[in-house]
Chains A and B, each alone.
Chain A
Amino acid sequence: MAQVRLVKLRKEFGKVVAVNDLSLEIKDGEFIAMLGPSGCGKTTTLLMIAGIYYPTRGEIYFDDVLMNEVPPKDRHVGLVFQSYALYPHMTVYQNIAFPLRLAKKSKREIDEKVHEVARLTQIEDLLDRMPSQLSGGQQQRVALCRALVKEPEVLLLDEPLSNLDARLRIETRAEIKRLQQELGITTILVTHDQVEAMTMAERIAVLHQGVLQQYGPPNELYDAPRNLFVASFIGDPPMNLVRVRYEIKEGRPCLVAGDFALPLSSEWVQRIEKSGEREFTLGIRPEDMNLLFNEQDHAFPGRVSLIEPLGGAVLVHIHAGSARFRVLTSREKQIFLGNQVWVQPKLEKLQLFLPDGRSIRELYEA
C-alpha cells in the first residue's frame, strides 16, 4: 500500500487549465473521493496519477518517490474506468489474467489469483464468458477484478458506478467500500455524485474548475462548507441559499430579503460586524429548520407552496416574502398547501457567505 501526495499539480490542454495547482495528500490505506461537476479536472487528475497524462507542472509522489516520469506499467496502480474498458476479444478469465500475464507470473499463480478475486466479487461462474455477454453490473465487477488482481498499491476508480441502475449502485457502493476495508488499498474514487462520495469515502476533495475547494471528512464538508460552491454542491436536497442584507429592523439586527427578515443571535452579529460586509448569501440546510404554527423567537413567517413526500420525511416548499425555502420535516406534522407557518432556523447551523463566496464562519470567529 502506498501514500499518495500531489504537490501543486497542474495540467494544461492548450490554453485550457484542467487542473490548477492541486495539492492533496492521501494517507496509506485511505479511501478518498474527488468530487465535482463534469469538467472540474477530477478525471484528468486521476489519469495523471495513473501515468496516462503527464502533468504540465507539479509533482506526484507515491511513498515519497517522485512518479512524474514513471510509465503507467511501473506505477502499480489498478484503474477501473467509467466505461469498464474490458478487452472485448478476451474472455472474462483472460481479461482478469491479462495484468498477471504481462507480469510473467506462472500459470498456476495466475489461475489461483484470478479465482481468488473472482470469488471475492462473486463472478466465478462468469469466467468463460465474453464481455459482450455480461450485464453492466457484471462488467463492472470484472473491471474491478482486473484492477485488484495485481494487488495494486493504489486503486483508482473513475465513476465506477455511474453506468449502473439505481438499485445496483447502492449495492455496489457498499460492496466496494467493504472490499476496500478488507484489502486496505489506498483508494481514490472520482465521482460527480455527492451521495457516492459521502457514503464511501473517508475524506472528500471537492474540485471546481480545476481548483481544490475543500478537502475533509464528509461531515465536515456537510456541516462547515468553506465556500458557496461546496455548500451548494453537497447535500440532497440541496442547501437553501438566499441573498440577504444585514440591517437593523425595529431595533434588532436582522438578515433581510424583501419582506423576509431573520432576527440574529449576538454571536452572528459579532461575526458580521467583524467582516464589515452588508450583503451576504444565507445558507441553511432543509433539515436545520423547524416548522411552527405560531410566531416564535428567531422565526420568520411564510406560506406553504408545495409539498413533496419523500417517504420517511416530507419536503415542504415555503414562500417567505421573495425568498423561497425547502424545509425537511417529519410526516406526522399536519401541513397543507397554503398554510401560514413560521420557520425557525437553527441559528448555530446557519451559513453566511461573503460576496466572493467564502464562508464567514471560517474567517471570523465569534
Chain B
Amino acid sequence: MRRSAYPLKADTLKKIRRRERAIKVLLYSFLFITALPIIIGYSWLFLNSFSERLVYGLIPEQLTLKNWSFLWKPPSPYYPSLWRTFANTLILGLGMVIAVVGISTPAAYVLSRMKFPGRIEILAGTLILHSFPGITLLISLYYVLRTLGLLNTVVGVFLVKAGLMMPFAIWVMKGFFDGIPWDVERAALVDGATRFQTWYKVMLPQVKPGIGAISIFAFLSGWSEYIYVITFIHDKRSWTLSSYVNSIIGDYRFLDYGLLASTALFYMLPVLVFFLFAQRYLLQVSIGGMKGGG
C-alpha cells in the first residue's frame, strides 16, 4: 500500500489545539498589559472626580458630588462661567468644521480635476505647509492676529487652526475626488448639467465619506486645541475648556485633583459620546478613504 502524505496521528489535532489556545492566552495578556496604563488613567480620573480622596492613589474614599459643583457655580471668582466656556469650545470646533469643509472641498475638486498653471506648485506648497511645525509660527501669528484685531477671539483661533489644517484636508478630499472616474463627470455634462451642477449634484454626493472624515477631524482638532488657545486668548470671556482645565493645573491655588478630574471628564465627555455613536461610521470612513473614495 502507498504511504499517505498525510499521516495524521490521533494526538496531532489535540496538540495543534493546545498550542492555539496558548497563543491566544499570551496574546490577550499582552494586549491587557499594554492597555493597562490607559485603563488606570481613566479609572483614576473617574474615581477621583466622584470621591473626597483616593487611598493609595486608587481606592476611593467617601463618594461625593462636590467636585462637580463647578457645573453650576465657578470654583472661585477667578473662573469665567463654565457654560460660556463650553459654548466657546463648541464654536471653535464647529467653526473649524465650517471653514475646513467649506474651503477644502471646492479647492480639492479644482486641484483634482482642472489643469491650470501653478497647480503642481500649489500641491507641493500645501505639503510643505503641512510638514511645517505649527508651533514655530506662534509669535508671527500673534502679531498677525493682533494687527487684524482677532486676538482674544475664538474666531481668530479657528481661522489659524483651519488654515493649518487645510493642506491635510485638501489632500484627503483630493484623494476622494481623484477616485471618481472622469466618465461619471462627463456623463453629467452631456446629460445637460453645468460645471457647477456637476460638482454639486454628482461629485459632492460621492465624496460624502470624505466630508464626514475631515469634519470629524476638524471638530476634534478645534475642540481639543491647547497651544493656540492658551497663547492667543487671555480674555476669560473667550476661554475654551482647555484654558479652563489648564488654569486648574497651573493656578495660584493648590492643585485640586478632584476638580481637575471632574473638569477633565466634562471636557472629554462630548468626545466620548460622539465616538460611541460615530464609531461605525468612522471605521467606514477610514476604509473608504484608503480606497480613495469608494
A85 touches B194 (CB 8 A): no
A87 touches B202 (CB 8 A): yes
How far, in whole Å, are A50 and B193 apart by their CA atoms in the complex?
13
A87 touches B186 (CB 8 A): no
How far, in whole Å, are A126 and B86 apart by their CA atoms in the complex?
50
How far, in whole Å, are A288 and B184 apart by their CA atoms in the complex?
46
How far, in whole Å, are A203 and B105 apart by their CA atoms in the complex?
46
In the assembled complex, which residues on chain B have CB atoms less than 8 Å from the CB atom of A52? 186, 189-190
How far, in whole Å, are A12 and B186 apart by their CA atoms in the complex?
20
Residue among B183, B189, B190, B206 with max Cβ neighbours from chain A (10 Å): B190
B251 CB-CB contact with A under 8 Å: no
A85 touches B206 (CB 8 A): no
How far, in whole Å, are A348 and B186 apart by their CA atoms in the complex?
48
B184 touches A79 (CB 8 A): no
Known contacts A50-B190, A52-B190, A103-B192; decide if A89 and B206 are in contact (CB<8 Å): yes
A24 CB-CB contact with B under 8 Å: no
In the assembled complex, which residues on chain B have CB atoms less than 8 Å from the CB atom of A85? 181, 183-184, 186-187
How far, in whole Å, are A100 and B238 apart by their CA atoms in the complex?
52
> Which of the candidate stretches A70-78, A317-325, A333-341 sits at the interface with the other chain?
A70-78
Distance from B207 Cβ to chain A, minimum over Cβ atoms (Å): 10
Distance from B129 Cβ to chain A, minimum over Cβ atoms (Å): 30
How far, in whole Å, are A88 and B183 apart by their CA atoms in the complex?
12
Name the CB-closest residue of B to A74.
Answer: B192
B188 CB-CB contact with A under 8 Å: yes
A269 CB-CB contact with B under 8 Å: no
Distance from A108 Cβ to chain B, minimum over Cβ atoms (Å): 19
B149 CB-CB contact with A under 8 Å: no
B187 touches A73 (CB 8 A): no
A51 CB-CB contact with B under 8 Å: yes
B188 touches A87 (CB 8 A): yes
B190 touches A77 (CB 8 A): yes
State the total of A-B contacts with C-beta under 8 angstroms. Answer: 60
Contact of A88 among B188, B191, B192, B206 (CB under 8 A): B206
B37 CB-CB contact with A under 8 Å: no
A215 CB-CB contact with B under 8 Å: no
Name the CB-closest residue of B to A79.
Answer: B190
B205 CB-CB contact with A under 8 Å: yes
| Secondary structure call for the A interface | loop
In the assembled complex, which residues on chain A have CB atoms less than 8 Å from the CB atom of B181? 83, 85
B192 touches A81 (CB 8 A): no
A326 CB-CB contact with B under 8 Å: no
Name the CB-closest residue of A to B206.
Answer: A89
A81 touches B183 (CB 8 A): yes
A166 CB-CB contact with B under 8 Å: no
How far, in whole Å, are A52 and B184 apart by their CA atoms in the complex?
12
How far, in whole Å, are A75 and B192 apart by their CA atoms in the complex?
9
Name the CB-closest residue of A to B294.
Answer: A88
In the assembled complex, which residues on chain A have CB atoms less than 8 Å from the CB atom of B192? 73, 99, 102-103, 150
B64 CB-CB contact with A under 8 Å: no
Interface size on A, residues (CB 8 A): 25
Tell me the residues in window 181-236 of chain B with beta carbons closer than 8 Å to chain A beta carbons. 181, 183-184, 186-194, 197, 202, 205-206, 208
Distance from A16 Cβ to chain B, minimum over Cβ atoms (Å): 16
Contact of B205 among A72, A89, A99, A146 (CB under 8 A): A89
Name the CB-closest residue of A to B197.
Answer: A102
A51 touches B190 (CB 8 A): yes
Distance from B80 Cβ to chain A, minimum over Cβ atoms (Å): 45
In the assembled complex, which residues on chain A have CB atoms less than 8 Å from the CB atom of B186? 47, 50, 52, 72, 79, 81, 85
How far, in whole Å, are A98 and B193 apart by their CA atoms in the complex?
9
Tell me the residues in window 82-127 of chain A with beta carbons closer than 8 Å to chain B beta carbons. 82-83, 85-89, 98-99, 102-103
Known contacts A87-B202, A88-B206, A89-B205; decide if A73 and B184 are in contact (CB<8 Å): no
Distance from B145 Cβ to chain A, minimum over Cβ atoms (Å): 41
Contact residues of A with B, CB < 8 Å?
A: 47, 50-52, 71-73, 75, 77-79, 81-83, 85-89, 98-99, 102-103, 146, 150
- Additional A-B contact list (18), CB under 8 Å, known A87-B184, A89-B205, A102-B193: A47-B186, A51-B190, A52-B190, A72-B186, A72-B190, A73-B190, A73-B194, A75-B190, A78-B190, A82-B183, A85-B186, A88-B184, A99-B191, A99-B192, A102-B191, A102-B192, A103-B192, A146-B187
The 6 closest A-B CB pairs, nearest first, are A85-B183, A99-B191, A102-B192, A85-B187, A89-B205, A73-B192
Contact residues of B with A, CB < 8 Å?
A: 181, 183-184, 186-194, 197, 202, 205-206, 208
* 19 sampled A-B residue pairs with Cβ under 8 A: A50-B186, A51-B189, A51-B190, A52-B189, A71-B189, A72-B186, A72-B190, A81-B183, A87-B184, A87-B187, A89-B205, A98-B188, A99-B192, A102-B191, A102-B192, A103-B192, A146-B187, A146-B191, A150-B191
